[in-house]
Amino acid sequence: MIMTILNTLAQEARQRVDADILAVSRADMRAQAYDTPIREGFLFEQALSAPGLSFICEVKKASPSKGLIASDFPYLDIAMDYQLAGAAAISVLTEPARFLGSDAHLTEIATRVAVPILRKDFTVDPYQIYQARTLGASAVLLICSLLSDSQLEEALGLATSLGLSCLVEAHNAEEIQQAVRVGARVIGVNNRNLHDFSVNTANSADLRSLVPEDRIFVSESGVTTPADAAQAVRMRADAVLVGESLVRAEDRRGFLREMRNAAVHAFATPMGQQSLCPAIKICGISREEDIPVLNYTLPEYVGFVFHEPSTRYVTLGKACELRTLLNPRIITVGVFVNAPIQEIVSAVQFKSISMVQLHGIEDEPYIMALRKALPGVPIINASTIRDGAGFAAASQADPDYILFDGAEPGSGISFDWSLLEDIRHHPNLPPFFLAGGLTQETVKSALTLGVYGVDVSSGVETGGIKDPAKIQGFISAVRGHHAAQGSGVSL
């Protein structure tokens, strides 16, 4: 019986707490927790409150129901893939016996990603909440089946005082009422049956009306396909928690983008006919005033230019400051021109960026050295296209992405897109971005070229300053065109 398993897991959690207290006393753990810097604003809740369906993606090696999920378990690579594909948050299993999780996994992941992290474990003691803060988590899981009203209230209050959010998990109507009664701000419905381990995603749909609209609603378990993501949109879920299917996917980034895309176009595109919407990169962000429109429109990528001669240049300190203001779901890219590798490493280590874009004459040995210094960090290699030679040079070092730009990068001047006709069918062409001369008016033509993404800077500026109306117009043009193409609507 699952209740027996759940109770066993809870008992084992209590035993782990007892063992941990022998190493670090309650008083010392509490002091460490309050000494740990707290980022204001409850980032987990911010991320799940963003427009559209948010994805909490799980780093999980095993489970009681499925056994070993991933014998090869590159947990850092898995977490990076999730972030780069647009995960709103990452759930890390830390239970060691049945899920083969580890506190160390969470801490390592927290040092590498910018999105908030949920510590997923069986919380039965306030000590574990203090632990979560010191490990680097932004949220903890509280399971109604294991906690009384008073215990839930105590846990919620303690977490709040530490700047942590709580995902309060319910399985039935009574537990949802309990979660609402104690003031839970994020309520999840687990679609897994507590008696036979079967999964029924209709459980979330059946219970959705019991969760007030001012709470964040999460559908957990059983979200394994793009169609499931679309179903979550139709039940008005704010977020879904996805685990096993993502860990098992051969192309985690691609699969998550398919699920996100299905959610975005759940009403605009007939089920089963979704195609990937091109990614959008707004480059050259340098001012706090640029942030609100980005957090509202949520482009997939934002670029910081670290090349000092550029009028859009930002220092590392400024980029770090802007990164903290951006919605965690937005992936930040650092643009460099023949920069020392240590400069790029510092930008990644300080969490200002998650991807690197090379815009100089960086050769294959340089890129190989960069990969060695920053394993798992994706690289975009820019190419100015005059003929096929530009593509050959850019693709020689096997970058993760190529960016095709005009002869004068950053000038807003386009190149002859017909030159891409032969290149874009090349069998070794990685996903590519298109830049140069893109505006709200011209981007629709660019979308017919098979691009992975579009990159714009001057095309969304007025007088050299980012223009919120132009950013909104550009993003609407890309997403509106794609939705209409998918649904057969003529523009």
Among 190, 245, 352, 414, which one carries the catalytic annotation? 190
Active site residue 258: no
**Interval 420-440: pLDDT, tens:** 776 766 666 788 899 988 999
Decide if 60 is catalytic.
yes
Which candidate, 471, 424, 469, places its Cα nearest to that of 447? 424
Question: Is 362 annotated in the active site?
Answer: no
Token code pair at residue 491: 């523009």
Which sequence spans correspond to the domains of the chain? 2-264, 279-487
Options 3.90.1150.10, 3.40.50.300, 3.20.20.70, 3.30.1130.10; CATH for 279-487 is: 3.20.20.70
What is residue 174's predicted lDDT score, i.e. its pLDDT? Answer: 96
How would residue 488 be classed by pLDDT, with cut points 50, 70 and 90? very low
pLDDT value for 70: 83
Q: In this structure, which topology does domain 2-264 adopt according to CATH?
A: TIM Barrel (3.20.20)
- What are the tokens at 452? 């992975």
- Quote the CA–CA distance of 192 and 222 in Å, as a whole number: 8
What pLDDT was estimated at residue 425?
66
Burial string for 305-335 (b: 16+ CB within 10 Å, else e) reads bbbeebebebebebbbebbbebbbbbbbbbb
User: 54, 60, 286, 381: which is the annotated catalytic residue?
Assistant: 60
Q: Which of 45, 58, 95, 258 is catalytic?
A: 58
User: Structure tokens of 137?
Assistant: 């988590």
Question: Is the pLDDT at 355 greater than 80, yes or no?
Answer: yes
What tens digit of pLDDT does each residue of 34-70 get?
998 877 678 999 889 877 789 999 999 988 777 888 8
What confidence score (pLDDT) does residue 276 get? 57
120 part of the active site: yes
Top-ranked range on mean pLDDT: pick from 4-8, 80-84, 172-176, 218-222: 172-176
Among candidate residues 45, 95, 175, 220, the one labeled active-site is 220
CA 255 to chain centre: 13
pLDDT computed for residue 13 by the predictor: 95
What is the predicted pLDDT for the residue at 105? 96
Helix (H, G, I), strand (E, B) or coil at 279: strand
Report angle CA 457, 459, 460 to the nearest 5 degrees.
75
The answer to whether residue 319 scores a pLDDT higher than 50 is: yes
Whether 491 shows a pLDDT value over 70: the answer reads no
Q: How confident is the model at residue 274 (pLDDT cuts 50, 70, 90)?
A: very low
Active-site option among 61, 120, 281, 466: 120
CA separation for the pair 117, 135 (Å, rounded):
10
3-state secondary structure of 382: strand
Contacts of 482 (CB under 8 A, 6+ apart): 265, 275, 277, 278, 447
Determine whether 220 is an active site residue: yes
Residue from 169, 244, 300, 362 carrying the catalytic annotation:
169
- Select the more confidently predicted residue: 27 or 483: 27
CA 414 to each of CA 254, 363, 389, 401, 434: distance values in angstroms, whole numbers, following the listed order: 29, 25, 18, 19, 10
Question: Which residue in 54, 191, 203, 221 is the catalytic one?
Answer: 221
Q: Is residue 486 scored above 60 in pLDDT?
A: no
Instruction: Note whether 2-264 and 279-487 share their fold.
Output: yes
pTM of the predicted protein model: 0.74
Q: Output the pLDDT for position 394.
A: 58
The more confidently predicted of residues 110 and 383 is: 110
Query: Residue 489: pLDDT band by 50, 70, 90 thresholds?
Result: very low
Say yes or no to pLDDT of 220 above 50: yes
